[in-house]
Structure 1
Amino acid sequence: MAEKEANEMNELLLSLCIPTNGISEWVFPVLDSIYEQANNLQKFEVVVTDNGNNLDFYNRMQEYCSRYQNLRYEKTKAQGFTNQIDCFKLAKGQLIKFVNHRMPLVKGALEYLISFAEKNQKNKPVTYFTNGELQLKNGYKKLQNFDSFMKTLGYWSSWSAGISIWRSDLEKIDLQKPYSLTFPHTVFLFGNTGADSYIIDDRRLVTEIQSKPTKKGNYNLFTAFSVEYIDIIRGLLDDKKISSSTFEYIKKDMSYFVSLLLYEYVIKKQESSYDLQNYKEAIEKNYSYLAIICNIPYVLFKNQVLKRIKKCMADM
């Protein structure tokens, strides 16, 4: 047992996984944000999986791989978001952390994640990184069960960029079983519903490269969040992994997000690449369309307040 623990201590601590479809203007600033703050390449690795067809991106990645010995780049035939699965499967670090391909790390984030992995490698708590979105007191919350963990996350559990998993937990998951093609990160999020402890880390670790909504995705937006994700959470309820109160809380929390989407993309008609077909029918699968409309003033007010709070926190 002592020998096993010693071997674990000497393993690679952290894998940063960046699944992408090969968009140079996003990925390379993300890579630069990592390596500009890297002091010890032995403690972490970066894994990039690419399901795009950008030859210039491919060639430039070869150059970066020759520059950084702990950077691995693989082409994949995975479709859409399932690229996340391929990327995590390649990771060798004890803690595997998703990094969105358009979200550079803020200064100090790499050191923080390595330190987090080092301090928690024995107990291995299930951890979700919410990047300041929950405004948690002290930026951190420890929970004792999966139900309270999911209730605290609310609709943010649908945000794949927050996902992390210990490799020892990943190795226990049967990835041959069906999983959501739109939200594949849930296979990791729900991979250990009986853990001894759960952590929501709300420290701000990444920022976002501003980009046109026309480049963000072409899936059916309202089917994804009004139907598919609610059905996924309902599956947890049916399997008695969460309580009915937690299910209703997440469903309600998601309704505010759906109201915001409706305002931005249907009412304001903001240009995007999303599929908006049958949006009303999709919403009405789990919600009252009128209630979603009525939510909009509250959601817009709440968003303005949160933006001001975040700005004040950033300026402090």
Structure 2
Amino acid sequence: AFSIWKEQLRNIPHSPDDVNNMFPHTSLLFNANCDNYIIDNTNYIDNINVEKKGGYNIFYNFCILYLNMLDNLVKNNEITKNTFLYIKYNMFFKFIIPWYYKTIYTNQGFTFDPSNADENINKKYGPLSIPLIMVTLFYKKET
């Protein structure tokens, strides 16, 4: 979830050119330029698995679009390269691999567009990323 004071929202660039249509809340957050943020990772509710969830290219959106947004923050000295790498590889192990399992390796009924999944992952994580995913999923299956 994302929240912002109305007064702050007025001061944040939020024209269509300033906001990524796949990540509007993230765009607003990245455009906020606040001195302090509160990050609360507390789980207040459990999400219900939504059947037929999807409709967009999950691996393009997160591996390409989202990481490009973060890379721009590094270029503008808004986050460090170490922060970028932490987010990037945390996302790989906790998001990309699980969703690869749910959408490519097994078919669990999601309607995400899997087009060029391997290519999009390789572009940002390198040529060993898919073999690493396969090894991880093999051991997941065995345990």
Q: TM-score range by the shorter chain?
A: 0.7 to 0.9
Question: For residue 241 of structure 1, what is the aligned residue in structure 2?
Answer: 78
After TM superposition, the structure 1 = structure 2 runs for residues 8-87 of structure 1, keeping only pairs within 5 Å, are: none
Residues in 2 aligned to 1:283 and 1:210: alpha-carbon distance in whole angstroms: 24
The alignment yields a C-alpha RMSD, in angstroms, of: 2.3
| Counterpart Cα distance in 2 of 1:203 and 1:267 | 30
* Unmatched segments (≥5 aa) in structure 1: 1-161, 302-316
Residue 203 in structure 1 maps to residue 42 in structure 2: yes
Count residues with an aligned counterpart: 137
Structure 1: which amino acid aligns with 2:128? L
Distance 1:270 1:288 in 2: 26
Q: Residues 177, 210 of structure 1: CA spacing in aligned structure 2 closer, same or farther, 3 A cutoff?
A: closer
User: Aligned-pair distance for 1:267?
Assistant: 1.0
Displacement after TM superposition at 1:289 (Å): 4.5
Q: Identify the residue that residue 276 of structure 1 maps to in structure 2.
A: 114
Query: Percent of pairs identical after alignment?
Result: 31
Higher RCO, 1 vs 2 (CA within 8 Å, ≥6 residues apart): 2
Give the deviation of 1:177 after TM superposition.
Answer: 4.8
What one-letter code is carried by the residue in structure 2 that aligns with 1:186? T
More strand by share: 1
Tell me the distance in 1 between the aligned counterparts of 2:107 and 2:127.
Answer: 18
Query: Could you report, residue by residue, the CA deviation over 1:6-54 in whole angstroms, capped at 9, with x for unpaired residues?
Result: xxxxxxxxxxxxxxxxxxxxxxxxxxxxxxxxxxxxxxxxxxxxxxxxx
Letter in 1 for 2:58: L
* Matches for 1:15-164 after TM superposition, within 5 Å: 162-164=1-3
| Conserved 8 A contact 1:237-1:244 | yes
Contact map agreement 1:165 1:188 (CA 8 A) in 2: no
Q: Report the Cα offset of residue 279 of structure 1.
A: 0.9
What code does the residue aligned with 1:183 have? F
One of 14, 24, 30 as aligned partner of 1:184: 24
TM-score (norm 2): 0.83
Shift of 1:235: 0.8
TM-score for the superposition, normalised by structure 1: 0.40
Kindly provide the amino acid, as one letter, of the partner of residue 194 in structure 1.
C
Kept in 2, the 8 Å contact 1:222–1:276? The answer is: yes
Which residue number in structure 1 is paired with residue 60 of structure 2? 223
What are the Cα deviations for residues 158-177 of structure 1, in whole angstroms up to 9, with x where unaligned?
Answer: xxxx2111111111012225
Pick the structure with greater CA Rg. 1
- The list of structure 1 runs, each at least 4 consecutive aligned residues, that deviate by more than 6 angstroms after superposition, is none
